[in-house]
Structure 1
Amino acid sequence: MTTTHLQSWRTRVALLLAGQTLSLIGSSVVQYAIVWHLAMRTDSGAVMTVTTLCAALPQAIVSLFGGVWADRWNRKALIMLPDALIALATVALALSIANGGEALALFFVILLIRSAGGGVQTPAVQSLIPDITPEEKLLRVNSINGTIQSVNMIAAPAIAAVLINIMPLWAILYVDVTTAVIGIAFVALIRVQSAARTRSNEAPSVLTEMRAGLRYAWRYPRIRSVLISYALVCFVNIAPMNLTLLLMNRGFQGQTLDLRFTVLETAADKLAANEMAWSVGMVVGGALLATVGAKLFHDNMALLAAAFFGMGIGTVALGLAPTLLLYLFVDFLIGVSTAIGTSPTYTLLQQETESDMQGRVFGLLTTFSGFGTPLGMLVFGPLADVVDVRVIFVVGGVLTIPFGVWLLRVDKRWARKVR
């Protein structure tokens, strides 16, 4: 019996989730610290637009290649290598800041590198999960993964808010380096029987395989509709959500909120509360799916449509919220809606995509959503310096709802065909 067989699927999943959890929390703390530093330093919609482009566009482009690589090469290596390269880039930024180098261009370059690493890693992670998980457990594992990541997103802004008030930015950057090393070690312990993905002399080119992945996705209406709707929702909804930093700074400046266990007074406190409210909602939504939802709900497309409805209505409410307390409550509900859509989306694609095409399909998902967000920011970011940022949230929310209607129609047509 091989070592792979001695290692149960639960052990392999636990090692993967543990490694990704540790890597994510360090990356999130540093990402929050960098973005907040730039937001508080500039208070500029233009700078937030460039920041979003640098954080999203490289991942969108590289994911096209990352998806092909995930179908062709060792998925474990494609998960670990980006963490190592990002850690090295983060060390370089820390050393530069410690020696007085804080040019905006430097921050943008590091964000570009971090984003590109995600373009390689994300398709590999999503493709490795069905390699080590029984199909009937996929929704549960994806929901647990989403819940763990959401817990990290609660901890990360809280940690970042504390650290940014007591430590220089260069020192905070080493948090990511430490967690990356530990995360790589966990993933290295996973034993997987690798499929033959090594390139031969007759293997098609990367561009040919990318085109094959796109043709494959377009052949199936459910996969195609998920990819398109994700991209367009990122354009009209997720992009404006990147302006919550400006909404908090401008809309609730001077407001103090006493939550009994803490008082939100400073800009850093409010930015952390903004992230944490959404993340708590993600935890609640993910926990519901991982427990009750995985047993009761089996229509992943309908769950994604419901998530779009919730995100659209919630985004409108964010723009209309008169108080910080109501804003945070609505932000929590948007987090619940987001979790209800994320795990079913991954599960649907994992179940309905052939194993040797999963990397490319997830690469397309990352690319489509990755392009949607920066393109949306090119529109909404500059507008935030011209019009009331609240109007942008209302418009973005209203434009999100039709995509939920579209997915329900696609789902009903598919249900009639399989009867």
Structure 2
Amino acid sequence: MLITTQSLPTHTSQDSSKEPIASDPLENGWKRRAALLLTGQAFSLLGSSVVQFAIWWWIVMQTRTGSAMLMATLFAVLPQSLVAVFGGPMADRYNRKALIVLPDLIIAGVTVALSASFATGWANLSLIFVALLIRSAGSGIQEPAVQSFIPDVVPADKLLRVNSIFGVIGSANRIAAPALAAVLVNLVPLWAILLVDVTTAVIGVGFVVMIRLPMKDASMRRAPADADGTAMSEAGMRPRAEAESAGLVAVLRRTFADLKAGMAYTMRHPHLKGVVLGDALTCFIAVAPMNLTLLLMAREYEGIDLNLGFVNLTTASDKLAANELGLSVGLLLGGALMSALGPRLLRGSLARMRAIACGIAMVGITVIGLGIAPNLLAYLVIDVLNGVASAICVGPMHTVLQSESDESMTGRVFGLDTMLCTLGEPLGMLVFAPLADVIPIAWVFISGGLLTLPVAWYVLVLAGRQPASSASA
């Protein structure tokens, strides 16, 4: 599962008309609660990532077809993007700890069944796709719950620190997981690797279950939310079945209304429009072919060894792990570069938009480079540069969305951006993956990179237009 690092709002508010409120009860023991949550999620994330890499590599090495990669992407990405639309409202309505624990347990059960099928020789692609679907849907429920649970665990002034640690855990996982997966693939069968996720899931659940939230006084408790999002008293609550039915309809209506409002608002603001559409089109055109890098490595560099001195890449799993590590290292380097130089060089909105356009162009150029790389070493160097280019895009994109959208619309703008990007990736695979089976796979990367360059130009054009800050939400 993936953990975002955005700061989250607290769930308490102060009423100036009342007497001074006592100190926040979250202050007591927050370090222990945060440590339990961070440790549990670190175990869960590592196990899930290791198994996800192992499954993907197995598919690549067994099939070597773009159609199999397409189906794997659809089952691994699409359910999460669809379920996540409703995962947020669920996190606001139901017990968040349960929404964190239950998906982990369900995914662990599915993984045990998949492991048994591999151990007995019954495993096939269909079973793997079903497992990927359930794992993806579980993440769509769990991730919003984890993000919403953080303000229940730590006080408001500690949110940035905890979210920053989550970011470090995510970055470390991107480097450790593929390396660990490569070692395990070379040593043990896949059915045994699958049990790693089961073990880490149980450990992660154990840490989360140990979290005890402090009791809040009546003034700090929220009343149950009515169908229209307003609070209502216990005496005014409707029968359970009627309330749940009306609540589901209200959630659906509110979700689609928010998407519509976010779309209309975003399209009226040139910079927001440029970021959201630029991000979505890049995911559709450039990021989708990037999901075929595993296939490119398996086809183009089979039998080609690379001795880097500190490591010798000989097996297929070694090269697939190096592919993932190269991108991860690039993302870390690009993130560090933007953290050090970005605040000084990108002070205005125009500078940020130009940086986004430049980053998208660099992504396109490096995708072309992956297709025309003359050897494995050159490929890995370009892979690192692709990660740097991606990181250059992400920071300014988030800053523009945060700084140029109205406070009441920021969530909807981010939601629209997340939805379009998440859907753009599998939709792009519907185009590029079948091509990889009928034309040389290098051509897929070259065409994807070339088509990305007009997206950069489009963002640059919108960068020169003045933001319509006066437009109403």
The two structures have a TM-score, normalised by structure 2, of 0.76
| Alignment partner of 1:339 out of 391, 400, 412 | 391
Matched, 1:35 2:84: no
Q: How far is the alpha carbon of 1:181 from its aligned partner?
A: 3.2
Alpha-carbon RMSD: 3.5
Count, aligned residues: 416
Residue 194 (structure 2) aligns with: 173
After superposition, the C-alpha distances for 1:338-368 in whole angstroms (9 at most, x for unaligned) are 2333355456556667888776655544432
| Alignment partner of 2:433 out of 377, 381, 385 | 381
Residue 277 (structure 2) aligns with: 228
Q: Which runs of 5+ in 2 are unaligned?
A: 1-22, 230-246
| Cα pair 1:148 1:283 within 8 Å, conserved | no
Matched, 1:62 2:83: yes
Amino acid corresponding to residue 259 of structure 2 in structure 1: L
| Cα pair 1:311 1:334 within 8 Å, conserved | yes
Matched, 1:278 2:331: no
Structure 1 pair 304/119, CA: closer, same or farther in 2 (3 Å)?
A: farther
Amino acid corresponding to residue 6 of structure 1 in structure 2: N
Amino acid corresponding to residue 182 of structure 1 in structure 2: I
Structure 2: how far apart are the matches of 1:277 and 1:260?
Answer: 16
Q: Which runs of 5+ in 1 are unaligned?
A: none
Residue 261 (structure 2) aligns with: 216
| Alignment partner of 2:305 out of 256, 260, 266 | 256
Q: How far is the alpha carbon of 1:404 from its aligned partner?
A: 3.2
Structure 1: how far apart are the matches of 2:73 and 2:335?
Answer: 26
| Alignment partner of 1:52 out of 73, 78, 86 | 73
The structure number with the bigger radius of gyration is 2
Structure 2: how far apart are the matches of 1:173 and 1:278?
Answer: 24
Amino acid corresponding to residue 109 of structure 2 in structure 1: L
Matched, 1:288 2:337: yes
Structure 1: how far apart are the matches of 2:148 and 2:389?
Answer: 24
Structure 1 pair 15/306, CA: closer, same or farther in 2 (3 Å)?
A: farther
Amino acid corresponding to residue 4 of structure 1 in structure 2: L
Structure 1 pair 21/195, CA: closer, same or farther in 2 (3 Å)?
A: farther
SS of 2:54 mapped into structure 1:
helix
SS of 2:424 mapped into structure 1:
helix
Structure 1 pair 386/201, CA: closer, same or farther in 2 (3 Å)?
A: closer
The two structures have a TM-score, normalised by structure 1, of 0.85
Matched, 1:368 2:420: yes
RCO greater where, 1 or 2, for CA within 8 Å and sep 6 or more?
1
Amino acid corresponding to residue 367 of structure 2 in structure 1: T
Amino acid corresponding to residue 194 of structure 2 in structure 1: L
| Alignment partner of 1:200 out of 226, 232, 240 | 226
Structure 1 pair 128/287, CA: closer, same or farther in 2 (3 Å)?
A: farther
| Alignment partner of 1:396 out of 448, 461, 471 | 448
Instruction: Identify the range of structure 1 (222-231 vs 97-106) with the bigger mean alpha-carbon deviation.
Output: 222-231
Structure 1: how far apart are the matches of 2:37 and 2:205?
Answer: 10
After superposition, the C-alpha distances for 1:40-65 in whole angstroms (9 at most, x for unaligned) are 11111111111111111111221222
Identity of paired residues, percent?
50
Residue 13 (structure 2) aligns with: none
| Cα pair 2:262 2:409 within 8 Å, conserved | no
| Cα pair 2:285 2:452 within 8 Å, conserved | yes
After superposition, the C-alpha distances for 1:192-216 in whole angstroms (9 at most, x for unaligned) are 9898484425556122111222133
Q: How far is the alpha carbon of 1:71 from its aligned partner?
A: 5.0
Q: How far is the alpha carbon of 1:115 from its aligned partner?
A: 1.1
Structure 2: how far apart are the matches of 1:408 and 1:7?
Answer: 49
Structure 1: how far apart are the matches of 2:213 and 2:90?
Answer: 19
Q: How far is the alpha carbon of 1:415 from its aligned partner?
A: 5.5
Structure 2: how far apart are the matches of 1:163 and 1:149?
Answer: 21
Structure 1 pair 340/6, CA: closer, same or farther in 2 (3 Å)?
A: farther
More helix by share: 1
SS of 1:87 mapped into structure 2:
helix
